[in-house]
Amino acid sequence: MSNNHEPRRRFLRQMLAVVPAASVSTGAALSLTACSDTAAPSPASSDGRGNAAHPDYFTADEWRFLQAAVDRLIPEDASGPGALKAGVPEYIDAQMDTPYGHGKIWYMQGPFHPDQPPELGFQLNLAPRDIYRHGIKACDDHCRKHYGGKPFAQLAAADQDAVLGQVEHGKIEFETVPAVTFFAFLLSNTKEGFFADPIYGGNKGMVGWKMIGFPGARADYADWIDQPGAKYPYGPVSIDGRRG
């Protein structure tokens, strides 16, 4: 990630463009809780602490991996806080106990054809929570084998970037889940956690919205729609009324 202010903002705007609008304003959980009786993730506390010290789903080793990985995907720099201060790990942990995390929004009975084109839908017999569990273990096992017994979280930043790049492009073979699938979930959920409404545990302090000038759930900002490049003069607002 560049240390230059504008390139990072431009990169995050491009990432935002591929995140569904519903995920930005409400978080993935809002539309998914309607699929079952599973409760939505608890809103982040007003002081922004969340549940960083005690994840509900991830083990201690998995939590260390997740924190290190999202920190490399959206690191803190001169333009603003990164994924860690935005509470992205807490957001992802909360999603693991939603219908999304349990795979209840997909048909999961098979037959499964992983080599089919993506337009045919999800083709694995693993729910997102299982993809994370298997993917993190496989990545840590690879790191221990090739980096002197160290798991991913203990590698230098440059080595972590190299490993994530290999996972992204499928240059590392995972046994249970395709490496590219694991990375796709990790990257997508990281973007959601950085830009979703803070009530779902991420985007603490609305740092993601502030970085790109997104007004959040404000009722009226039509006066600025036809003013490209003009800075929105008011801070963002969460669905629950909190102001950033």
- In the chain (244 residues long), the average pLDDT of successive 10-residue segments reads 53 52 42 41 41 82 97 91 95 95 83 70 84 97 97 97 96 92 95 93 91 80 79 80 76
Kindly state whether residue 242 falls inside one of the protein's structural domains.
no
Kindly state whether residue 49 falls inside one of the protein's structural domains.
no
User: Rounded CA gap, 103 and 123, in Å?
Assistant: 12
State which residues form the domain around 128.
5-35+58-224
- Number of structural domains in the chain: 1
**Residue 78's pLDDT is what?**
85
Kindly state whether residue 40 falls inside one of the protein's structural domains.
no
Is the overall model pTM greater than 0.85, yes or no?
no
Residue with tokens 């008011």: 234
**Residue 34's pLDDT is what?**
35
Angle at 100 between CA 40 and CA 202, to 5 degrees: 55
177: nearest Cα among 141, 142, 131, 143: 131
**Residue 139's pLDDT is what?**
98
Kindly state whether residue 235 falls inside one of the protein's structural domains.
no
**Residue 237's pLDDT is what?**
86
**Residue 25's pLDDT is what?**
41
Kindly state whether residue 206 falls inside one of the protein's structural domains.
yes
242: nearest Cα among 214, 210, 211, 206: 206
Kindly state whether residue 50 falls inside one of the protein's structural domains.
no
Kindly state whether residue 113 falls inside one of the protein's structural domains.
yes
End-to-end CA distance of the chain: 25
Kindly state whether residue 207 falls inside one of the protein's structural domains.
yes
